[in-house]
Every structure is written in structure tokens, then in C-alpha cells.
Structure 1
């Protein structure tokens, strides 16, 4: 699929799925803004894209803070010439914890980073996306569809992401398409953070009919497709990249 001439902003681009998504967009011809709270990690992704003859910038941003998000959007537009695709990908995990033991601080942090960030990104990016009939992508999770043990705050944040995606698709059509991606457990540095006494990585894998975890590249390929002209009639969907987990 061809992303030539498009400007793409990926949050959480410093590692895992975000890094793979940013690199895949870069390899298909997009200019990519690699945003992450970790400046060094964002810069590494930018350099990886540039080393493959792609165009990229690195942006340090805390996606739960409105001022950071606004500056992230403004830098992208100023330095890369516009904005065609916003991928609200940044997120944090929750270690499996009984709901009665989840602190308010943990709950608030997960909602702010995993869900509020997509609201802020959309709010500040929308004028630019409307100018170019752009696309919003949101990284949700299969946990929003088939919850797992001990992930109350995480499931709430990702369930909210799916609902927000559908609301925005309705509200912003026909000017902007909005879709979510729901990955199953994926081979990233974050994966071990989900484990606990009642939830091991092996337990996760055993519930996937394809008998394997997803890879960051699986998610990246789905993102580039959903942003492409080939997906022009797709909006409001939550695409399950799950090896059959949600059957």
C-alpha cells in the first residue's frame, strides 16, 4: 500500500507497536512525526526511518497533557507541511490486579494516557485533518471485546477507545474517517507488565486460536491499510488483529 505524500503522526512511536507503525508508514512513503514521552526513543525511530531514506521528525510529548499535544500537532504541521493521519497509539499497561486493589492513581493514569490522549489528539488535530480529508486511527485492544482477569482499568480505557472511535466516525463523517485497531497480546516490551498470579503470557497465548501472539508488524500492516485509499469506505470499525481470540 502506498502512503506517498502523506504526513502521519504516530504517538508512542518510541517502541513496540508504535515504532513498527511509524517505520511501516515511513517505508511506504509517508513523512512521519514520531512522538513519544521518551525523547531518545522517538529519536531512534526517526533515525531508523531516515536510514531507510524516509522523512521523519521526533517529537517529545506527554499525550495526557493538552499543551504537549497541541505543540506536538503544531510541530508536525509546521515541519512536515500538514497532517493526513493521526494514530493515537500511545498507551500503558496494567498489571493484573483485583479491582478492589486498584488504586485511584492507577485508574486515573490509565484513563488519561490510554483514552483522554485520543480525545486531546483529535481535538487539536481536527482542523488540519479536515483540510485534507484525513484519517484518525486509535489503538484499542481485544481486551475491550473479551476482557481478561484483573484488568479493570485497562479494559475500561480500551473499551472507551472503541466507543470513542465509533462516536467520532459518526460525528466527523464524511470529512474524516476514524477506525480502531484491537490487537491481541503482542510481542512488545509491555507484554510482561500485564502478567500476574492469574494471568501469564502462556495463558494469553493459549486462548488464541492461531496459537501465537501478534507481532508489532501485524499491527503496523493493519494501520497502513486502514489509512490507505483502499480502505476508503471503512470508518467506525474496530479491526481485530487477534488470531481469532475474539471469536
Structure 2
């Protein structure tokens, strides 16, 4: 794969992922354009974040590899101690996209969620096997359907732990309801999707081993029967106005996709 000849200016390399919900206490950014198998550095700025910090990288959109082979793992990366920077290898292929979420000690996604970012070109492809599909530690199920998440409709989700990730918006921990066992759907809990129709939503499964060990599935929330009874000003959503996450031209995706990416495929009933 030829090396890209774009003349990266330092100002273009810094991908500033601006705070996403109102006036956030701290900001974070990539110091260079994320590239295939390259070392990426994420830095936190501002005085109000509380270490330790943490970044979650979730695949987004289809795989660009031949035959759609999906090699992208979810990356769950802690910063060390009180450090405000972390460096890691981005094990994603050129042309693929990802969503990044930064958290601190105050809670998940306290630093906000970036918009879709595209991985830039590199001659190094040693960090993934383009012929082998990624395997996650478990497969999760949702009911009654795998095709849609519907505004204000109840879902039944298999345990254990789940996150809701909204690109460029308010990501959140899905509240775990009462755990019950059903003869047809197994063990799980109910969650009312208080998400507005049209919202892009990644459902990510995790457990004691970390976030994303069960993969993720991407949905675009459907309107259904136009039930808005569960919605309020506090309902998770994409940020109104200009999208957050200013990127260099080399890292901005030409399009986004609501398809599944790098995650478990729930079992259909």
C-alpha cells in the first residue's frame, strides 16, 4: 500500500475533539492523524478533569477490507496514573472509521464523544490479519428485534453491562433494570430506548473484563408509532448545531454508516 503524499501541516494533524455537551470541563485531542497500525497519542487539556482518564475506541461503519472482513477490536485504553496523555497502536485498516469516547474518574463519557474519524493511509499492515474475522468474548442478544431500536420502545437486553454510544453526542451507561429469566429470551433486563428517532446509536456489550468484550452493534433509532412519552430535554442525543470533532481533511470521513461494525450480532428470535 503506497504511502500517502499529503503534506500534513501540524495544524491539520491535531484532531481536536471539542467538548460535546454544553460547556465541558476539559477537552481532548489526537496529536496526529490516526493511521493504519500507527502510534496514536491522545492528550487531555484543562484543569477540571479528574484522573485517571480513559479512552474507548469503537469501530464504526463497514470494514474496507476485501469481502468486508472485520478485523477491528474495540480498544479500551486507560491512561497511566495521573497522566494526561496516552499513546497506543491503532490496529485499524486504512479507510475504516471509529468513534472515540473519553472519560475520567467522574464517570463514563465525561469528556464527550467524537464524531466518526477515518483512519489514514500507511504502509504498515502488520497489526491485523486481513483474512481473519475478529472474535469477541461473548455474543449478546436483544429482543424483540435485531433490525431496529425504536424510540420509546422497550428492549430486552441480555446481561451483563452495556453502554450507549452516540457519535458526536451524549454517550451513556445503559441503566441495568431488574434481572429476570424468561423461557424464550433467557436472562436479561428491560431498557426503554429514550432516544430520539434518527439518532445513530452504538450498543456496546462489556463485562468484568472491560468495555466492549461483547462487541457492538450500530443502529439508527426508528420512529415506530411516534411515541414520545419517554423523551425529555435530558434524553441522550446528538449535539445540536455544528458537529463536534474538527478533523484534518485527511481524517474526515466522506460518509458515515449505520451498519454493524466490529461487534456481536444479536441472536434473532
Query: Taking structure 1 as the reference length, what is the TM-score of the superposition?
Result: 0.30
Q: Rg larger in 1 or in 2?
A: 2
Determine which structure has the larger strand proportion and give its number: 2
Query: TM-score when scaled to structure 2?
Result: 0.28
Greater percentage in helix: 1
